[in-house]
Amino acid sequence: MAVPASFSIGPIRIAPATVLAPMAGVTDTVFRRLIRNQGGCGLIMTEFTSSHGVVALKKNTRKPTKAFRYLYFEPEEHPITAQLFGSDPVVMAEAARVCEDQGFDAVDINFGCPVNKVVKCNGGSGLLRDLPLVERLLQEVRAAIKIPLTMKFRAGWNDRELVYLQMGRIAEDCGLQAIALHPRTREQGYSGKSDWTRIAELKAHVKLPVIGNGDILTPEDACRMVTETGCDAVMVGRTASANPWIFRQISEYLATGSYWVPSERDRYDIMRTYYTMLRDKDAMDTVGKMKQFATYFTHGVRNGTKLRTAIYQATDAASILDLVDRFFEHELTIAA
């Protein structure tokens, strides 16, 4: 069984059936457009955004906030989903209305984030211990918007408190259009292995489209997840940070049985493209983003440690671009 050519979230057809996972500090508008431009990604999602922050943004549009940056997107990013987190049903519903008014194609509620500061506020995976509140949240948001509503969640708080089947049933009863499961527990964080059998159980338990997420490192993994679970689409997260071509590779693998592998030159091109997009966008903390993505983009690059170290020590965008140019000019000359 191969990754499906498409799937639907309500009236929205997503083709191909691949999704860029929402990742805090990663999936801003610049990175999302970088992924979109490589081809092969059916749906992209924003960083998860505080519902309280979105409501505050509506009340004070003159002062830029984190929520404003997180929810900014360009027309080329469609179809795009806004992901929200929070624990107040009324606030969440109002935030969802703001997202609908801004032109998002769908809204997604985060019940998966394992980070302590989010969980302590009863957000993210913290809500997996309060299913009645999950139901009230979903009911309020579903009644507040006309665009599709989805949710992403983990399997449970720990292996003794698994709730993914109950979450799937609640989503179905509340009229959601799709659900995404990351089958690790909150206790696992990002350690250990994703138990894909939980995705298969969920798929057998509900009629909603189920998006599988977790440990897709290669195109082969994407196909294997669909084969083993029967999921309707695959969601790729951390792998896309270091390999922005993963969605293109999945499409090529489905079409031909093989896929293109980036060369050193391709890695140089993607790094410079992303850094130039950051600079031209005048993104918040451009230099910080460049340093962050140096870790991702030099993965697998010969002598990449040297480039990372130099970038970490730089203080402005122009210097970092110059470092990248000079490093790859030297490395590509040696390789030739």
For the record, the structure tokens of 255 come out as 């079409």
Distance CA 19, CA 14 (A): 9
Q: How many CB atoms lie within 10 A of CB 336?
A: 6
Choice among 113, 174, 223, 231 that is catalytic:
113
In whole angstroms, give the CA distance from residue 276 to residue 290: 10
CA dist 116 and 198 (Å) reads 24
Residue 85 host element (H or E)? strand 80-85
Sign of CA dihedral 302, 303, 309, 314: negative
Kindly state the greatest CA–CA separation across the chain. Answer: 62
Q: Is 113 a catalytic residue?
A: yes
Amino acid at 326: R
Within 13 A of 225's CA, how many CA atoms are on the CB side? 33
Q: Which residue has the tokens 């490192």?
A: 217
Residue 235 half-sphere exposure, CB side, CA atoms within 13 Å? 25
Q: Which helix (H) or strand (E) holds 20?
A: strand 18-20
> Encoding tokens for residue 168?
């799937």
For residues 262 and 245, is the Cβ–Cβ distance under 8 A? yes
* β-pair partners for 62: none
> Quick one: which H or E segment has residue 318?
helix 317-335
- Residues 92, 96, 99, CA angle at the centre, nearest 5°? 140
Cβ-based neighbour number of residue 101 at 10 Å: 10
Active site residues: 113
